[in-house]
Amino acid sequence: MTPKYNITSNEKNVLISLERLGKASPGELAGKAGMKVETAMQAAFLLEEKGLAEVDETVTENYELTDEGRKYASEGLPERMVIEGISGPTPMQDLKQMFSPEVAGIATGWLRRKGWANIEDGVVVPTGKAVTGKDEQALAKFNGQARTPGELEADAGTIADLLKRKLAVRKEDKHRSVSITAQGLELVASGIVIEEEVAQISSEMLKSGQWKDLKFRPYNIHTKPKPVYGAKSHPYQRLIDQMRRIFLDMGFTEIKGEVVQSSFWNFDSLFQPQDHPAREMQDTFHLSSTSELPGEYKDNVCAMHEYGGDTDSTGWGGTWSEEIACRNVLRTHTTALTIRYLADNPEPPVKAFSIDRAYRRETIDPTHTPEFEQLEGVVMDKDMSFANLLGCLKEFYHRMGFEDVRFRPGYFPYTEPSVEPEVYVDGLGWVELGGAGVFRKEVTYPLGIKYPVLAWGLGVSRLAMLKLGLKDLRLLYQSDIDWLRRSEICQL
Ligand SMILES: N[C@@H](Cc1ccccc1)C(=O)O
């Protein structure tokens, strides 16, 4: 009788081996069939799909002692060492000296919980009831090996206690076994012949004409291939590249600059007063190094801060300190880069942007990290106006896929007027995304810039969270492998 099954030679081989072995582990099966374990198991799974074999998986739960658990298994639990080491009420202070402060600390909590002692005014008073607990019995049974709950004779509560105290860890052992089914036995009994099957045709076979006599392995289009996780850009990097592309497409030049900046470029050139709260230690990473101040601008900036220079501005008043201005900081915004670029390129037109990292002393939480990216940009030209600024930002957000954009009035020491752009996101409402404005003359005049400058500094990670649907910013930097695998390869 011709078998009605379409099976490969590997499957036949495994089936025949199984018929002889009955039930076998993957290793035994592979040995008998003379195959690699993976090949034998692949065949076994195919046989299982056809109802000719069965693959069983059993999981046994095991527990193993941790280093701490092993230590206590041989020396005794801290509470046991303490209760046996004292003969009557003992002050905590003495316990810390008799044992280590660590052992004394762990022990007292457990002595009280187990009812072996009471703590009265800092004195440990034994109750006289220190019988061997189930945890101690279980600990003694490990004997350096992985054990099942049965071997430990331990109930779920005792095991949970050992896990909670980090004295033991849970392990799972998976065992597979393969057996032949009644249908499989029937097929073997009907006599199957192992024929060589060809899975891949070679040019030799074609040239010699040998292919005509060969038996080819049927192609199974129903088997699922293993997922392939192709190499791809990090989703955050992909968005950063997209933002960069948008500004390049709009005719902007990208600028790069140092992470370490003098306070002069980070704050003073931007007309931030020297006693501005943003400069405080708790907000800014200050470095112990200093930078030389640019001779051509320093006096102008000083005059502007102190009394407004030769403009009608009053400045901030007081004395401007060179010593404060030379102190280096990790740039708190990328505006330090664009202002310096403008000072070096005062001739219009200028359209420049930077997408790079900035640093602030933030407490890490789902929406704050001390390092984050900003998308900074400036446009300087003869007749630039506030309306051009709003148009430019709107265009950028539209290209990023946000239809509704609006601007709220804002405040920055270096711009007037100032705005905070917001985009509308379904389910979240209006989300604020950074700052923008037209540079004040207090900023442009000392640097010799004669034309209006539109400027903005946008939050990149916030935008990325919205685009990637994340609730926690930290995910962008943690690169969880499952998240990376699930993320799209390219923009849809
Ligand atoms: N530097 C501002 C953003 C900004 C840049 C340029 C002009 C106005 C505002 C910030 O970090 O929040």
Rounded to whole angstroms, the Cα distance separating 178 from 325 reads 76
Radius of gyration (C-alpha) of the chain in whole angstroms: 37
Best residue for ligand 1 mutational test, from 333, 392, 463 (most atoms within 8 Å of Cβ): 333
Res. 193: pLDDT tops 90: no
Res. 171: pLDDT tops 50: yes
Q: Which amino acid is at 246?
A: I
Query: Which two tokens mark 115?
Result: 């009812």
238 Cβ inside 6 Å of ligand 1: no
Domains and CATH numbers, the chain: 9-60+174-213 (1.10.10.10), 64-167 (no CATH), 237-486 (3.30.930.10)
Q: Is 172 annotated as a binding residue?
A: no
Q: Is 373 annotated as a binding residue?
A: no
Rounded to whole angstroms, the Cα distance separating 247 from 98 reads 70
The pLDDT assigned to 457 comes to: 97
For 173-199, what is the mean pLDDT? Answer: 84
375 falls in which pLDDT band (50, 70, 90)? Answer: very high
The SS3 assignment for 351 reads strand
- Greatest mean pLDDT range, 123-132, 248-257, 467-476: 248-257
Per-residue pLDDT of 148-168, as tens digits, reads: 888 889 899 999 999 999 999
- CA distances from residue 410 to 331, 417, 436, 437 in whole angstroms, order as listed: 22, 8, 8, 9
The SS3 assignment for 423 reads strand
Q: 8 or 349, which is more confident?
A: 349
The SS3 assignment for 409 reads strand
- CA distances from residue 23 to 27, 43, 190, 434 in whole angstroms, order as listed: 12, 15, 20, 67
Per-residue pLDDT of 421-440, as tens digits, reads: 999 998 889 999 999 999 99
- CA distances from residue 286 to 259, 265, 267, 330 in whole angstroms, order as listed: 12, 14, 13, 7
- Specify whether the CB–CB gap between 197 and 215 falls below 8 A: yes
Torsion angle (degrees, nearest 10) of CA 479, 484, 489, 492:
-90
For 357-368, what is the mean pLDDT? Answer: 92
The pLDDT assigned to 1 comes to: 45
Res. 59: pLDDT tops 50: yes
2 falls in which pLDDT band (50, 70, 90)? Answer: very low
Res. 489: pLDDT tops 80: no
Rounded to whole angstroms, the Cα distance separating 469 from 488 reads 13
The pLDDT assigned to 187 comes to: 86
The pLDDT assigned to 173 comes to: 84
436 Cβ inside 6 Å of ligand 1: yes
Task: Calculate the average pLDDT of the chain.
Answer: 92
Res. 492: pLDDT tops 60: no
The pLDDT assigned to 3 comes to: 47
Tell me the ipTM for this assembly: 0.98
354 Cβ inside 6 Å of ligand 1: no
Rounded to whole angstroms, the Cα distance separating 182 from 100 reads 66
Query: Which two tokens mark 400?
Result: 């990023």
For residue 374, the ligand 1 atom closest to its alpha carbon is 11
Instruction: Please provide the DSSP assignment of 296-335 as one string.
Output: HHHHHHHHHHHH-TTSS-----S---HHHHHEEEE-SSTH
User: For residue 476, how far is its CA from the centre of ligand 1 (angstroms)?
Assistant: 22
For 330-355, what is the mean pLDDT? Answer: 97
The pLDDT assigned to 252 comes to: 98
For residue 338, the ligand 1 atom closest to its alpha carbon is 6
Return the half-sphere exposure (C-beta side, CA atoms, 13 A cut-off) of residue 388. Answer: 14
The pLDDT assigned to 490 comes to: 61
Q: Is 196 annotated as a binding residue?
A: no
267 Cβ inside 6 Å of ligand 1: no
User: For residue 332, how far is its CA from the centre of ligand 1 (angstroms)?
Assistant: 10
For residue 335, the ligand 1 atom closest to its alpha carbon is 1
- % of the chain residues with pLDDT over 90: 71
The distance from CA 282 to its chain's CA centroid, rounded to whole angstroms, is 26
